[in-house]
Structure 1
Amino acid sequence: MKLIKTFSLILVLMLCVGCNNLTDNQDKGHAENVISNSPNIILFVSDDHGTDALGSYGNPIIKTPNLDKLASEGVRFTNAYCTSASCAASRSVILSGQFGHATGSYGHVHDYHHFSTFDGVQSLSNRLSDAGYLTARIGKYHVAPEAVYLFDEVLEADPRNTVEMANASKNVINANKPFFLYFCTDDPHRGHPFNPDPWDAPNTFGNKEGGYAGVEQIVYDPKDVLVPDFLPDTKESREEIAQYYQSVSRIDQGFGKLMEHLKDAGKLDTTIVFYISDNGMAFPGAKTTVYEPGIKLPCIIKDPTKPKGGIVNDARISWVDLTPTILDMANVSFNADEFHGKSFKDIIYEEKVEGWDKIYASHTFHEITMYYPMRVVIDGDYKLIWNIAYRLDYPFASDLWAASTWQAIYRNDEEYFGKRTVKDYMFRPEFELFNLTKDPSESINLAENDTYRETLESMKAKMKDFQLKTKDPWLIMWDHDSSLQGTGVNL
């Protein structure tokens, strides 16, 4: 009798294990079926590239033929925004669909800064892997922890050589199932050393004597570059911008090589391509600020299933929208309430779009020594910046402080840095209100103008609502509003 009972128990256990294996296999099969007809997706992210340095965005000097071709065949957004003009903070938003103030991604990950996303966050790469995609990353990572931002494959190449990066991606491109390739360059970020010797030497922006294997060196004459109006038109600025342009042209060549590999694999018609940057150019007045040069960025998308290209879309979209949009395009189901952004899949190829005129931005740290939280709402013509720590000097990133572009002004005790006085750049008011249509340079602060009192209060209300909905801890800075604060007691 005991033998029969024992045999019966073993049989039941075997059946249970078999059922579990069957369920696992069914789940895997379901995931593979879900994505069998889904597109490949490439998310190409450059490092510190503004709209100022692309031919398709109106720069007649810089040579970016491959990215310009992408724009002519796809869609170029003219109002695309990151949420924080800082590398790590911005990338966490790109890959999570949530603002950094809600995920713990307040600033830089590397070295002693050590900000990190909360463990419970589900990232884009993890979601796509779970759905059956092959996910791979190459180049700059700059997010943590790896368990949150996990990829099936990590490819190795020099992140300053985008041609080498493209070549290293061939096996992923030739995979026998849909892939998601997260392709992140180090260009055109400033290069080491950040402190030049002599002080007025331009930063290299990753350029080097002799260049990079497989990459044509495209050199620019400083007298020919275009100096944005937020920068001083000085010898130092022009020399640094020329180096920046050279780095951007290297990106373009690598992008072209990546498209060649797609074509050779026969996957140009089945691959959606995104080109974006994490934040604006690495110059004072852009990177680490929430002014337009810091957060208004290139965004070019090509969906080969769409018959028409060369579209210019003026909808306001944000990097917090990217994760839900890519999941939507990949046919991966998700709960929209899990994200702070929303999918813009259905309006990508629309030339006239209504209802896409509002975005938010949220910056807290760059380096850990740079505490200067700012919150932004843009709605219609108006933009409100709340400088929460306005009593502090505006902090400098270490590489931007050492930049000859800044030092030429600082050492010579110049009054102006571009259109702003040095004093106004260093010491911000609590609120800055701009009419972006009439004042695209953000040089006229309307916050203290009684004529705009009603507009200011309306924009403040929208900002508070945004902070409440996204569980921003800095909501407490409005009249000590502690509605989001915990008890401090573990129950």
Structure 2
Amino acid sequence: MKTFLTSGVLKKGKTWLCFIGSTCFMQSAWSQQAPTRPNVLVFIADDVGMDFGCYGNPAIKTPHIDRLASEGIRFKNAYLTAPQSSPSRTSMMTGMFAHTIGTEDLHTPLPESIRMMPSYFSEAGYYTGCMLKTHWGPEGNKQFDRMLAGDYLPNQGDLTEKAYESYTRFLDDSGTRPFFLWIGFKDAHRPYNRDVCPQENHPDEVIVPPFLVDGPDTRRDLADYYDEITRMDGDIGKMLSILEEKGKLDNTIILFLSDNGMPFPRSKGSLYDSGIQTPLIFSWKGNIPPGTVHDNGLVSTVDLAPTLLSLAGIAPPRDIYGKSFHELILDPTQRGRDYIFSERNWHNTDEYTRSIRSEKYKLIYNAYYHLPAGTATDLSTSPSWYELKERQREGLLTEAQLQQFAAPRAMVELYDLENDPYELHNIADRQEHFAEAKKLARLLVKWQKETLDHPHWQRKRSDTNDRVTGFPLFDGVPELQDE
């Protein structure tokens, strides 16, 4: 018997988190009856924004992901709870916000007491596994029946043959049991290596957002990023072919999403849409009408675990914050959430930013408003960053490009997303938007209280990167300063 705390009392630093009750479960053997529940196969990208053909980027080659969208449902307004890998992944796996379970800082492992999605699938008789990148720590890994072997070739090249062999063996070993399999790609995480990733996308054709320099280094950098996505798309195509060969495709729910935005300045690690919006595609033959698009309301990945459990006919736990949106998948005319919430904490530099987003507005709170925005090491050592800094020294940056270096910066940012989709014009000081901003601020504070968020002066870590130059002076994760 193994006990997980989905409720009860959990100590987080000097703060005690109180939940509703406790849950205990026993790993049960699967009955010998043939499965009637669907398999669940999750493909999750690493550091990938909205750059797919099916999401309106004509410059990138993603035929297999585009096919998934054409055969299922594509969500236009899906958002992550954090713009960093491990906080985002632990949130979607538990149905909780990262600050509630103590995983808000990068590389913070899941506590032993917290239960993840695969444990519920295992309890219901599913054969569970994960492969490639996980990023939730050893206690999370223990909740899978199997950790599949296989990785990438040196310098983050193609997947090894061992990876495909492990994947195929897992499908075979599942037998008549339904399976839950989580595949965490490393694409398109930096570093990029053109020697092992053939050029599929041309620098002249990439789309350069206005907060980056439209120069040769940035265009080449974006093309390399596109190539990583195209390679991942090919891996997904191969895995789907194997799934079909094994006769398991038709009864499998296939999900594709990303853990945070693209690894470029003002994207990954930020609470702008470039950091928290995610592709979200479900395909399930015979159950989801092909070519469906959902754009009525918002979707948050804190709801991912209860959604997948519900689709599999498993009752989600009642004492988590996430709520299932399976009705939206099966009936896209239904409305999603009115608001979604996100957070950013330590990631090479310490931050305490929180955001609330509606369909029209976003409000961001910056506790460290007196400092420049922090940036991650992989961003501040990228060609795009260096091209920005070179233009900054020359005094050639546009107003949009200068904003990410501002200090002090606004404590409160408010954006009209319908008229300003890149979030470049802060309207928090405009009288006509005051009432909306106050409403969002009240809802944000209410959410913080409900999810047991810590105050900004608690749970701090030292910076390892210089906020001005981006230079990575120190390695590792500094000790937590829990005041």
How far residue 303 of structure 1 moved from its aligned partner, in angstroms, is 1.7
1:178 aligns with 2:178: yes
2:400 to 414, 417, 420: 420
Separation in 1 of the partners of 2:432 and 2:211? Answer: 27
- The aligned runs of 1:165-204 (5 Å cut-off) are 165-174=163-172, 175-176=174-175, 177-191=177-191, 204=192
Q: Which residue of 2 aligns with 1:4?
A: none
- The aligned runs of 1:39-438 (5 Å cut-off) are 39-51=38-50, 53-109=51-107, 115-147=108-140, 150-159=143-152, 160=156, 161-162=158-159, 164=161, 165-174=163-172, 175-176=174-175, 177-191=177-191, 204=192, 207-211=193-197, 217-306=198-287, 308-314=289-295, 315-336=297-318, 338-367=319-348, 370-412=349-391, 413-415=393-395, 420-427=400-407, 428-438=409-419
How far residue 424 of structure 1 moved from its aligned partner, in angstroms, is 5.0
How far residue 349 of structure 1 moved from its aligned partner, in angstroms, is 3.6
Change (3 A) 1:417 1:308: farther
Assess if the C-alpha contact under 8 Å between 2:355 and 2:444 holds in 1. Answer: yes
Structure 2 unaligned blocks of 5 or more: 1-25, 459-481
Assess if the C-alpha contact under 8 Å between 2:112 and 2:139 holds in 1. Answer: no
How far residue 208 of structure 1 moved from its aligned partner, in angstroms, is 4.4
Separation in 2 of the partners of 1:209 and 1:474? Answer: 46
SS in 2 for 1:274: strand
SS in 2 for 1:28: coil
TM-score (norm 2): 0.83
How far residue 348 of structure 1 moved from its aligned partner, in angstroms, is 1.1
TM-score (norm 1): 0.81
User: More helix per residue: 1 or 2?
Assistant: 1
SS in 1 for 2:250: helix
Separation in 2 of the partners of 1:242 and 1:302? Answer: 28
Structure 1 unaligned blocks of 5 or more: 1-25, 110-114, 192-203, 212-216, 478-487
Q: What percentage of residue pairs aligned between the two structures are identical?
A: 32
Query: Quick check: 255-264 or 447-456, which moved more?
Result: 447-456
Q: Provide Cα deviations, 1:288-308, integer angstroms capped at 9, x if missing partner.
A: 000011111111111223151
Q: Which residue of 2 aligns with 1:28?
A: 28
Change (3 A) 1:313 1:331: same
Change (3 A) 1:332 1:282: same
Assess if the C-alpha contact under 8 Å between 2:361 and 2:415 holds in 1. Answer: yes
Assess if the C-alpha contact under 8 Å between 1:384 and 1:459 holds in 2. Answer: yes
Separation in 1 of the partners of 2:27 and 2:100? Answer: 32
SS in 1 for 2:77: strand
Q: Which residue of 1 aligns with 2:8?
A: none
How far residue 442 of structure 1 moved from its aligned partner, in angstroms, is 0.8
The code of the aligned residue for 1:333 comes to A
Change (3 A) 1:32 1:471: farther
Q: Provide Cα deviations, 1:43-89, integer angstroms capped at 9, x if missing partner.
A: 111101110x2111111121111111000000111111111111111
Change (3 A) 1:68 1:423: closer
SS in 1 for 2:440: helix
Cα RMSD between the aligned structures?
Answer: 2.3
The code of the aligned residue for 1:43 comes to V
Counting matched residue pairs gives 424
SS in 1 for 2:230: helix
Q: Which residue of 2 aligns with 1:449?
A: 430
Q: Provide Cα deviations, 1:437-460, integer angstroms capped at 9, x if missing partner.
A: 121111111111122221111111
How far residue 130 of structure 1 moved from its aligned partner, in angstroms, is 1.9
